[in-house]
Amino acid sequence: MATKNLLVELLVEELPPKSLRLLGHSFAEVLTSYLKAHDLAAKDAAMTIYATPRRLAVHLTNVVSQAADKSVSHKLMPVNVGLDNEGQAMAALRNKLASLGADTSAVAKLKRSMVGKTEMLFLDHVVPGVLLAEGLQKALDETIVQLPIPKVMTYQLADGWKSVNFVRPAHRLIALHGDEIVPVSVLGLVAKNMTQGHRFEATANPIAVKNADSYDQQLSAEGAVTASFDARRGEIARQLATAAAGVGLKPIEDDALLDEVTALVERPNVLVGEFEPEFLDVPQECLILTMKANQKYFPMLYADGKLANKFLVVSNIRPMDASLVIGGNERVVRSRLADAKFFFDQDRKKTLAERLSGLDKVIYHNKIGTQGLRIEYVRAIANGIAQQLGGEELAAQAEQAATLAKADLLTEMVGEFPELQGIMGRYYAQYEGLDDDIAFAIEDHYKPRFAGDELPRNQVAICAALADKLETLVSMFGIGQIPTGDKDPFALRRHALGIIRILTEKDLPLEMDALIGHAIQAIEDTNKHSQWVQRYTENLRDSGKKVKFVGGDGSRRVPAEVAEQLLAFIYERLAGGLREQGYSAQEVEAVLILHPQNFSDVSRRIAAVQAFMALPEAKSLAAANKRVGNILKKTAQEATREVDATLLQEPAELALYQALVGMLPKTNETFMAGDYTASLQTLAALKLPVDTFFDNVMVNTENHQLRNNRLALLAQLQQAMNRVADISKLAA
For residue 553, what pLDDT is reported?
43
**Highest mean pLDDT range out of 173-187, 528-542, 608-622, 637-651?**
173-187
Q: What stretch(es) of the chain map to CATH 1.10.3210?
A: 353-579
> Residue 505 contacts by C-beta under 8 Å, 6 or more apart in sequence?
455
413-436 pLDDT, tens digit per residue, is: 999 999 999 999 999 999 999 999
For residue 433, what pLDDT is reported?
94
CATH (residue range 601-730): 1.10.730.10
**Out of 130-144, 387-401, 568-582, 638-652, least confident range:** 638-652
Would the pTM of this model clear 0.85, i.e. be above it?
Answer: no
Tell me what the pLDDT averaged over the chain comes to. 89
In terms of pLDDT, which residue wins out, 687 or 381?
381
* Contact between residue 466 and residue 386 where contact means Cβ atoms under 8 Å apart: no
Q: What is the rounded distance in angstroms from the CA atom of residue 203 to the CA atom of residue 462?
A: 61
Mean per-residue pLDDT, 225-229: 96
For residue 631, what pLDDT is reported?
82
% pLDDT > 90, the chain? 58
CATH architecture group of domain 3-67+131-221: 2-Layer Sandwich (3.30)
Residue 172 has pLDDT above 90, yes or no: yes
For residue 534, what pLDDT is reported?
56
Residue 500 has pLDDT above 90, yes or no: yes
Mean per-residue pLDDT, 298-312: 96
For residue 139, what pLDDT is reported?
95
Q: What is the rounded distance in angstroms from the CA atom of residue 588 to the CA atom of residue 582?
A: 10
Residue 478 has pLDDT above 50, yes or no: yes
CA dihedral 344, 345, 349, 352 (to 10 degrees): 20
Residue type, 77: M
For residue 389, what pLDDT is reported?
93
Question: What's the CA angle centered on 711, arms 709 and 712, to 5 degrees?
Answer: 65
CA distances from 4 to 104, 139, 456 (A): 41, 18, 59
Identify any residues that bridge with 315 across adjacent strands, giving them in sequence order: 269
For residue 1, what pLDDT is reported?
61
* Contact between residue 339 and residue 484 where contact means Cβ atoms under 8 Å apart: no
Residue of 461, 340, 464, 322 whose CA lies nearest to 402: 464
For residue 556, what pLDDT is reported?
46
581-596 pLDDT, tens digit per residue, is: 999 998 999 999 999 9
61-114 pLDDT, tens digit per residue, is: 999 998 887 877 888 889 888 888 888 888 888 888 888 778 878 888 888 888
For residue 515, what pLDDT is reported?
93
The CATH topology of domain 353-579 is Hypothetical protein af1432 (1.10.3210)
Residue 533 pLDDT class (50, 70, 90 cuts) = low
Mean per-residue pLDDT, 197-216: 94
For residue 661, what pLDDT is reported?
87
Mean per-residue pLDDT, 23-45: 94
Integer distance in angstroms from the first to the last C-alpha of the chain? 55
* Contact between residue 440 and residue 397 where contact means Cβ atoms under 8 Å apart: no
Mean per-residue pLDDT, 24-45: 94
Q: What stretch(es) of the chain map to CATH 3.30.70?
A: 3-67+131-221
Residue 516 has pLDDT above 90, yes or no: yes
For residue 716, what pLDDT is reported?
85
* Contact between residue 442 and residue 382 where contact means Cβ atoms under 8 Å apart: no
**Out of 122-136, 190-204, 496-510, 591-605, least confident range:** 122-136
Q: Quick one: how far is CA 148 from the chain centroid? A: 18
For residue 530, what pLDDT is reported?
57
% pLDDT > 70, the chain? 95
For residue 552, what pLDDT is reported?
42
* Contact between residue 148 and residue 23 where contact means Cβ atoms under 8 Å apart: yes
For residue 550, what pLDDT is reported?
43
In terms of pLDDT, which residue wins out, 700 or 309?
309
Give 660's Cβ-side CA count (13 Å radius).
Answer: 21
630-685 pLDDT, tens digit per residue, is: 888 877 655 556 888 888 888 888 888 888 888 888 988 999 988 989 988 888 88
279-303 pLDDT, tens digit per residue, is: 999 999 999 999 999 999 999 999 9
> Is the alpha carbon torsion for 413, 414, 419, 420 positive or negative?
positive
Q: What stretch(es) of the chain map to CATH 1.10.730.10?
A: 601-730
For residue 547, what pLDDT is reported?
42
* Contact between residue 201 and residue 182 where contact means Cβ atoms under 8 Å apart: no
